Structure 1
Amino acid sequence: MDPATLPVRPLPRAPSLPSDLSALSWVVADAESGDVLASRSAHRQLPPASTLKALFALTVLPRFDAEDTHRVRESELSGMGAGSSVVGVEAGRTYRVSDLWHGVFLRSGNDAVRVLASMNGGWRRTAKDMEAVARELGAEDTHVVSPDGFDANGQVSTAHDLAVFGVAGLRNPEFAHYAATADAWFPAGRWSDGTPRWNKIHNTNRLLTGAGGVVAYPGLVGIKNGYTSKAGNTLIAAARRDGRTLIVTVMNPQSGVRNAVYEEARALLDWGFAAAGRVEPVGSLGLQNRLAARWGTDPAA
């Protein structure tokens, strides 16, 4: 077998890769160097589900100030796919941009994505903008049809490209902040006396929050989970330990085990930290110079 096709290149005393990985594709990479420590089918094009929102945020987040406000129109909420995840954005209400981003990152709210995409010039314009950013970052395998990640014909990404988006996101302090936020308050109208009412929303990334029978991963800093019936479960996860940041992407585990996407990501993170200096890279994300030009050399602290 060509060594370039092997999932890992171990040196002496390297730990063995987890034996029970069932995902169709996955990547473990160093977020600072961009070295890919191990991967399987890294360029296999698959539906990304809401992990595509990482690319959406990379594209749209820099274009608006967090304290900007926007009054939502009814037309901006139309067109969401049946069964879409929502945070509860209502037409006629005014939201801060930061509120909408909390809705995107924590609740994977397709309603919040719709509004932000409208502010950005519309749905199709945003999809084109996202593809342009992907190409700028060297992510050649991603095709965007629905910016919220909802299943759409021809919409695909790869474990490699999702890792690129995750690493790029960590260079942006705003992105890194939202991705690591476990809980936030979201506007929910007013009480009968006219005072503002807020609902507490919780991040759906169980590896971050420790919800749903998943133990929170020590040092996790986000980034984004996703699920659709076509994509299955998908995840971009980043964690820091001893001054090192790893990025792991997992696409569509096949085991049928509950919370498999989180447990397989956990196993890959554990392996990656244990493998430091004990494996040769199997490749590179190939974006360090591009990131340095945008945000500097190190992931956001």
Structure 2
Amino acid sequence: MESAKFSGRKGYLLVAIGGIVSILLVAVLASCTGPVGPPGATPSTEEIKALIREELRGAPPTVASIAQGGRLYDNWIRETKATAPAGNQPLWALQTTNARTGNDTWRCKECHGWDYKGKGGAYSKGSHYTGFVGVYDAGISKSQEQLLEILKGSTDVRHDFSKVLDESSLASLAAFLSQSLINENPYIDFATKKPIAVSAEDAAHGAQLYESVCLACHGTDGKLINFGSAEEPEYVGTIALDNPWEFVHKVRHGQPNTTMPAALVTGWSLDDTIHLLAHAQTLPEE
């Protein structure tokens, strides 16, 4: 096993070194005089360093990887089919307002919210309130590499998820945090939970999207799948009306460990998702 890991690292280093050598060769050749024309411009030291950093970083994450990161944020235990860690997430002890225990305490969304704003967003009150900050500001201000290190406990060892998630999953989660967080304030009214500035034509477009993509699994009234229990059922309309931020997140990234398509992968725009929300809010709650 260790030799396999070493071989993987060795192969990566060889590829990276090969890429760096290619960059340096291009830099040298760019300054040479060709058979015709003047010498090419010599890249600056900073330009060469930037190219080397890009080469070491590797290929950018795919849309599928970003969508998977969104599902991990939702419920990484379900998405990875992992055995839930024993007890509560270590940081959970810092709060006393949210009475949930066990699996729920390990879900990113439980601390940071479906709108990614934690105590500053939809989870600023109610049973989900914890007082923890959101991830939105970090997502737009920090690099993907910095976010990955935070997930590995660089700022607080109690936030080290490398003990429960593999490198690929952590990379997908960091990619999601870096590239898929949105500010939903211009799209969803915080007080009414209704889409903002959605016309009848937009809602009709949402109905078309529902019929073409969602109806087969969820039914005309959105009640073919019960996300809750017999005592407290939850349907498409229930979520859309009660928690539109959760609805938008799940439409964009998919439902953990299911075949539900992710709007990010299918090429839907954010407007498409908001139009779908407008239609979903016309479906029955119960």
> TM-score when scaled to structure 1?
0.27
Which has more radius of gyration? 2
Of Structure 1 and Structure 2, the greater strand share is in 1
Select the structure with the greater relative contact order (CA < 8 A; seq sep ≥ 6): 1
